[in-house]
Amino acid sequence: MSSKAKQPISSACMSNAIECKGALPTDGRGDAGLETRAFQKRLERHHDELRWLYMELYDNGDMFAELVDQMRRFFDDRPDRLKALDAAREEAGAWYRSQKMLGMQMYIDNFAGTIAGVEARLPYLERCRVNYIHLMPFLDTPTDKSRSDGGYAVKDFRSVRPDLGTMDDLAHLAQVCHERGISLCMDFVMNHTSEEHEWARRARAGEGEYMSRYFFEANQDVIDRYGRDVPQVFPTTAPGHWTYLPELGQCVMTQFYPYQWDLNYKNPRVFNEMMYNFLYLANQGIDIMRLDAVPYIWKQLGTNCRNLPQVHTLVRMMRMIGEVVCPGVVLLGEVVMAPVEVVPYFGTVEKPECHMLYNVTTMATTWHTVATGDVRLLRLQLDAVCGLPKEYTFLNYLRCHDDIGWGLDYPVLRRWGQEEVPHKRYLNDYFQGYAPGSTSRGALYNADPVTGDARFCATTASMCGIEAAGFEGDAEAMKVAVRKDLMLHAYMLTQSGLPIIYSGDEIGQINDYSYRDDPEKADDSRYIHRGAFPWGLVEEIDREGTVQNRIFLGLLELERIRCDDPVFSAEATVGTKDYSDVSILWIVRECAGKTLHAVFNFSDREKTIWMPEQAEYTDLLSGERTELASFELPAWGFAWFEL
């Protein structure tokens, strides 16, 4: 922590629309005045809007004054090296949009045991060209793993899970990462706390101050009305919206699981305290805050409690608070919704909210395309994304820690003869390996026997056929499976945005079925792709011809090309080309006088591809320049030709 003395700004000074400009105290050090002016300038830029939005929600000037006072305290406590990083990032602009960014998502215990273990493994991550690490939830949770939701039931926002390390370990990891040019991302779980959080324990004891931080209800009519209006998050594994507490004779709102109590953001104390947690974690060196389940954070009787206007007000305020105290920190919104509901979380160019959002619909549509061999829906999705302002940055991925939900554009699919229920059934059959021609392996998640709806879980390698080919000892099938795996990663890297690799994908890690033998995990098939990282396979990277060698080196070369060629710049103009064969996806990127034709074959057959014009193209994979009118593209192959 900074050694500078804490000298809070008076509430009166901060509440008067920053009329006390230049009156902030310093500790006498030469740079303190510069830091003070930097803070003051940022606060001046945002104060009026921040106060207006806060008062619109809460109409509580005292709580706003406290918030601003605490913002200054956290700024004073922010380590000098992080303030220097903030300044550098402010000068650089949208640093997270750089084409040199490459992320990897991992569970600390699965990957390296502890936070210190992750630090020891940084040379491996650097070999992977990774400079953005998303550490899956690591804050303290109940020791009973069946009541921790994989880390999303937070017991203490300022403590690390003891088996993973300490907060000092996290701060040290962040410092070492920054020295190596690596950024850290974490999950900020803001919709709920664990039932073991101090607030929840005191609320359960009947303390009114803490009960007001959650939603308690004894009126059955109100409870029933929520049930009618609000969709269930997990209708089969955690049905309902409320959990009865006999000691209080009331129910508490639990939209996700009974042990996760929803926070009441109508209470300004909740917002303030969660922002203090946010700033505390930022001061440990976290660079990217993934806002978990952000669409759910505002509850209003008579609505579906999703994406309400107040949610956007809260996120906008978070953005401004961050830009004042820690402007180098980025907000990543987890909005697993339809595209029309996702895009508003960017805010506007003038009044931005999240810096980045997950490209979740494109991810789901990608696997739909794998199963159908029809790229038309994917083209529509990509063109919609490419039509947004370039400032809107998506995080692109093939897989993540969660399941794959088939949230596709069914009105469009219906025009092509694909009805929602049977199509979802086909997709789940295909990726389980039941459909003709499928080589995928995996498991359903949250399957509903009444509606037939379900989501899907597996690793990228297993969905591409690497598991099946290895089990069958089929060398030719393995060749195709590896090619499919690399093609899909090349397609992901062709998109604009920040690409994220799920840990293990770089070496073709397959499904781990051992979760079925663990009583605490057996009911959650998502653990099929959350297996321990197979460090033994890393040794195979350097053995020519192995699956690990082919995937790792193949990805490495793709990442190198993307990093170095200006055609992959975030400023490129990107779109798709309509091609006569619906199994061919053709993406065009234009920048710096160059045009990239990226062509992907989503079929089991070799295809002859005709170029738009006969010309001399550079094959970015081989570096060769060739006069081309047409070329052959193998099953599940791809090409990067630059004009």
**What is the pLDDT, as a whole number, of residue 146?**
85
**What is the pLDDT, as a whole number, of residue 340?**
82
Mean pLDDT of 74-101: 96
> Token pair for residue 555?
């990805």
Of the listed ranges 30-44, 147-161, 332-346, 588-602, the one predicted with least confidence: 30-44
What is the percent of the chain with per-residue pLDDT over 90, rounded to a whole number? 88
**What is the pLDDT, as a whole number, of residue 221?**
96
**What is the pLDDT, as a whole number, of residue 453?**
82
Mean pLDDT of 456-479: 97
5 pLDDT band, cuts 50/70/90, is very low
**Active site residues per annotation:** 292, 334
> Per residue in 91-114, pLDDT tens?
999 999 999 999 999 999 999 999
SS3 content of the chain, % helix, strand, coil (to 5): 45, 20, 35
**What is the pLDDT, as a whole number, of residue 10?**
32
Kind and range of the H or E element at 626? strand 625-633
Q: Taking 50 as the threshold, does the pLDDT of residue 4 lie above it?
A: no
234 pLDDT band, cuts 50/70/90, is confident
> Per residue in 298-321, pLDDT tens?
999 999 999 999 999 999 999 999
Q: Taking 50 as the threshold, does the pLDDT of residue 3 lie above it?
A: no
Q: What rounded mean pLDDT belongs to the chain?
A: 93
**What is the pLDDT, as a whole number, of residue 22?**
31
Mean pLDDT of 160-178: 98
Among all chains, which residue has been given the structure tokens 């995996």? 442
**What is the pLDDT, as a whole number, of residue 449?**
72
Give the count of alpha carbons within 13 A of 33, CB side only: 5
Q: 338 or 489: which carries more pLDDT confidence?
A: 489
Q: How far is residue 289's CA from residue 413's CA, in Å, rounded to a whole number?
A: 35
In contact, 592 and 566? CB cutoff 8 Å: yes
| Helical H segments across 180-302, by residue range | 198-204, 208-211, 220-229, 268-282
Gyration radius from the chain CA atoms: 25
**What is the pLDDT, as a whole number, of residue 450?**
67
581 pLDDT band, cuts 50/70/90, is very high
Q: Taking 70 as the threshold, does the pLDDT of residue 634 lie above it?
A: yes
Instruction: Answer whether 0.85 is exceeded by the pTM.
Output: yes
**What is the pLDDT, as a whole number, of residue 89?**
96
Instruction: List, in order of start, the domains of the chain with CATH numbers.
Output: 11-77 (no CATH), 131-335+352-358 (3.20.20.80), 567-642 (2.60.40.1180)
| Helical H segments across 387-545, by residue range | 410-415, 420-432, 460-464, 466-472, 475-494, 535-538
* Strand 498-502 with 393-397, pairing: parallel
Calculate the CA 628 to chain-centre distance. Answer: 40
